[in-house]
Amino acid sequence: MLHNHSKTYLGGTATPKIAFIQHDHAHCASDIMKRAELLARTRGTRLTPVRRRVLEILLEKHQAMGAYDVLQRLATDGFGNQPPVAYRALNFLVKQGLVHRIQQLNAFTACMNPSETHTPAFLICKECNVVAEANTAPVRRALNEAADSFCFAIESSTIEAIGLCPRCQGSVI
């Protein structure tokens, strides 16, 4: 079975583990585009052609892309081909929670669960470059406890793990 189509989507939300599994990614992507449009309408923000196109490009795969790679794609699509074009769209999408920035890669990846602000942990496969978003409630709880013991008030935090995804653990030399 190549696709796990209807069964894996619950209320329009992909399970996070889907990134590492073969799945009907076209569905995955179009589902998120629809949610992005809904969010924009709800919030009164504008999902303009450039912004929409950037999100589409990032949604093509469960991997992160550098700003300049996105830019090149935009250019071939007839949009401006100077860095600010890409960075502005990316920054907008990040602010809206539709895209996450992966610090370790200086790259961007489409959010696979756009909703209320969430800051997932990222699992980044160093072989296939696939990025998955893990729920961080317990991780954050532990981090907050550590911060509390310093009387440090966390405002935002970044959690990124590099390693091997299930698929690539088998195929390593």
Partner DNA sequence: ATTGACACGTTATAATATAACACTCATAAG
Partner DNA sequence: CTTATGAGTGTTATATTATAACGTGTCAAT
Binding residues for a second copy, per CB under 8 A? 16-17, 20, 103-104, 121, 123, 125-126, 132, 134-136, 138-139, 141-143, 145-147, 149-166, 169
Taking residue 49's Cβ as centre, other Cβ atoms within 10 Å add up to: 12
Taking residue 82's Cβ as centre, other Cβ atoms within 10 Å add up to: 11
Alpha-carbon torsion (140, 107, 114, 20), positive or negative: negative
Taking residue 81's Cβ as centre, other Cβ atoms within 10 Å add up to: 14
CB of 71 to Zn ion, least distance (A): 23
Q: Which stretch binds DNA (CB under 7 A): 3-11, 12-20, 66-74, 121-129?
A: 66-74
Cα distance between residue 173 and residue 158, in whole Å: 31
Q: CB within 8 A of 137, min separation 6: which ones?
A: none
The answer to whether 168 contacts Zn ion (rule: CB under 5 A) is yes
Determine which residue in the list 102, 111, 125, 131 makes contact with Zn ion, applying CB under 5 A.
125
71 exposure class (CB count in 10 Å sphere: 0-12, 13-18, 19+): buried
* C-beta closer to a second copy: residue 41 or 68: 68
Residues 71 and 83: beta-carbon distance below 8 Å: yes
Determine which residue in the list 30, 68, 126, 127 makes contact with DNA, applying CB under 7 A.
68
Residues 83-112 interacting with DNA (rule: CB under 7 A):
83-85, 87-89, 91-92, 106-107
The answer to whether 93 contacts Zn ion (rule: CB under 5 A) is no
CB of 147 to Zn ion, least distance (A): 13
Binding residues for DNA, rule: CB under 7 A, are 45-46, 48-51, 66-68, 79-85, 87-89, 91-92, 106-107
